[in-house]
Structure 1
Amino acid sequence: MARKQRTPRWLEAARRRGAEDLQPSGKPDWLARALGKAGVMPRAQAEAAIREGRVTLDGRVEREPFAPVRAGVEVRVDGQMRSLDAPVWALMLHKPAGRVVHGSDAEGVGTVFEWLRERLTPALLGYEWLAVGRLDRDTTGLLLFTNDERLVRHGTSPERHLAKRYVAAVEGTPDEAALRRLREGLVLEDGPTRPAGARLRAPDVVELTLTEGRHHQVKRMLAAVGHPVRTLHREAVGGVTLDIPEGTWRRLEDDEVARGLGFAPG
């Protein structure tokens, strides 16, 4: 049976408010998300400020965090006018092992979002940062963040086939037959994989380039050819290559986003 599609919360809020909010120019955003995307304040803080009556739209106090926001509306927070113009930001983080790419960590080690926010400049702390894809807790390497959901969708869409390059230290020494199976694609429990780039960098180190992003895919593919992963590191996404020390971050230039990731907002 087909899964029932959930109505977006901004649309539910618009329906409660009346038909005028259902016909904005272009696709609407919702208020708390728009504030986070524009760097006014992160989404959780924005939701609290809205519910506390600190945000007005065109002079009217707005207490609904999921209220649709139309282009040209005047937004004030604590009486100060704030722009919702949202330039696309993209950040590169060299993820250390141990951190999870989730909103919380039940094991208490911490999340990559907490790690990143502890190191951001004050000018970037107001943004809501979204991870473009995921890495396992024990996987290190390149993790991208953005304030724009469109870049998240672009970077994780299975139709894009954006290449991701990994380096895995494995058990044993893969022979040419194992590498050929990886290159040609093999069948996992959730179906056949796309062909991958595979080569040895050392007797027990495999470079694997995937154009899809299934759960634990690198680990499952290497285990399937008889060489379980000991450590895993991601060093490139598309044409963007990790070039900073572990635990640090930097902003991607617009040209890196456009050429390296093939993303042009607009």
Structure 2
Amino acid sequence: MARKSKTPRWLEAARRRGADAPVGGRADWLARALGRAGVMPRTQAEAAIRAGRVEVDGQVEVEPFAPVGPGRVVRVDGRECSLDTRLWVLMFHKPAGPVVHGSDPEGVGTVFERLRAVLPESLSGYEWYAVGRLDRDTTGLLLFTNDERFVRHGTAPETHLTKRYVARVEGRPDEAALQRLREGVELEDGLTRPAEARLREPEVVELTLTEGRHHQVKRMLAAVGHPVVALHRAAVGRVVLDVPEGTFRALRDGEISEGLGFRVEPQDVP
């Protein structure tokens, strides 16, 4: 099997065209830069570019992966658009039902559709990335961002960002089951890291993890004899879910840096 190229698509496009890659600042490709800056979501930006509605430095640009960098003048439908960007991280309270994918073959809907339905106009032009995943039937805290750097930070195993879950389970876990969770459980993909585990009610376990394997909470609890009936994510890092189901709020810079351990740079704030 051929190895997937790690060359950015905007750079591949620049090489095909014989163009120079942007020098200095954060190089990007046009459609993504428009989404990151809140001009329009990436799919809309790609369509606008291919339709000839976007100019770069006075020339119509029809390549969504055209490289752009600092100093370029970009216009959409004749109106100049700033590509200056700031970091946004949103807390969203995911309900049960929608999936964390771009589409849902079962027709229930996606978290992206649910989020966009409640966004104000000032945030509707951004491209939003989900930071990690929650299962269709899992509720609770799901983070969104307009910046892929934060996605990498929030999902990288080496970050060890804690995630706190509350699970209603079958049966009544005893101290021995909780101790197994604390020490690590042997799963088909290896031993889990030690976790914090405690009973909140006789059939409700609070479990805090520092890793994010596929269906990990459900598999860990099933492995100690207590399959999950309902699962809710209550916190990520030191950021605790505090908005009603189906709604969102933007995180403050201190919550991003101190609560989630992500360094906010000067260019990330307005």
- 1:57 equivalent in alignment to 2:60: no
SS at match of 1:15: helix
Which letter maps to 1:17? R
- 1:17 equivalent in alignment to 2:39: no
% of aligned pairs identical?
75
Which letter maps to 2:213? R
Which residue pairs with 1:8 in the alignment?
A: 8
SS at match of 1:250: strand
Which residue pairs with 1:118 in the alignment?
A: 117
SS at match of 1:13: helix
Deviations 1:141-190 (A, max 9, x none): 00011101011111111000000000000000111111111001111111
- Structure 2 residues without counterparts, runs of 5 or longer: 266-270
Following superposition of structure 1 onto structure 2, how do residues 24-63 of structure 1 map, counting pairs within 5 Å?
24-63=23-62
Q: Residue 164 of structure 2 contacts residue 233 of structure 2 at CA under 8 Å; is this kept in 1?
A: yes
Deviations 1:214-249 (A, max 9, x none): 000000000000000000000000010001111111
Work out the CA distance in 1 between the residues paired with 2:224 and 2:51.
57
Using the TM superposition, give the Cα deviation of residue 112 of structure 1 relative to its aligned residue in structure 2, in angstroms: 0.5
Using the TM superposition, give the Cα deviation of residue 5 of structure 1 relative to its aligned residue in structure 2, in angstroms: 3.4
Work out the CA distance in 1 between the residues paired with 2:76 and 2:16.
23
SS at match of 1:264: coil
Using the TM superposition, give the Cα deviation of residue 258 of structure 1 relative to its aligned residue in structure 2, in angstroms: 1.1
- 1:93 equivalent in alignment to 2:79: no
Between 24-33 and 88-97, report the one with greater CA deviation.
24-33
SS at match of 2:16: helix
SS at match of 1:94: strand
Which residue pairs with 2:213 in the alignment?
A: 214
Work out the CA distance in 2 between the residues paired with 1:174 and 1:3.
46
Q: Residue 256 of structure 2 contacts residue 264 of structure 2 at CA under 8 Å; is this kept in 1?
A: no
Q: Residue 22 of structure 2 contacts residue 67 of structure 2 at CA under 8 Å; is this kept in 1?
A: no
Work out the CA distance in 1 between the residues paired with 2:101 and 2:38.
21
SS at match of 1:178: helix
- 1:156 equivalent in alignment to 2:151: no
Work out the CA distance in 2 between the residues paired with 1:229 and 1:77.
50
Using the TM superposition, give the Cα deviation of residue 25 of structure 1 relative to its aligned residue in structure 2, in angstroms: 1.9
Q: Which runs of 4+ in 1 moved over 6 A?
A: none
SS at match of 1:24: coil
Using the TM superposition, give the Cα deviation of residue 9 of structure 1 relative to its aligned residue in structure 2, in angstroms: 1.6
- Root mean square deviation of aligned Cα: 1.3
Which residue pairs with 2:79 in the alignment?
A: 80
Q: Residue 92 of structure 2 contacts residue 142 of structure 2 at CA under 8 Å; is this kept in 1?
A: yes
TM norm structure 2:
0.95
- Structure 1 residues without counterparts, runs of 5 or longer: none
- 1:236 equivalent in alignment to 2:219: no
SS at match of 1:92: strand
Work out the CA distance in 1 between the residues paired with 2:56 and 2:4.
33
Between 4-13 and 114-123, report the one with greater CA deviation.
4-13
Following superposition of structure 1 onto structure 2, how do residues 143-222 of structure 1 map, counting pairs within 5 Å?
143-222=142-221
Using the TM superposition, give the Cα deviation of residue 113 of structure 1 relative to its aligned residue in structure 2, in angstroms: 0.3
- Residues 148, 23 of structure 1: CA spacing in aligned structure 2 closer, same or farther, 3 A cutoff? closer
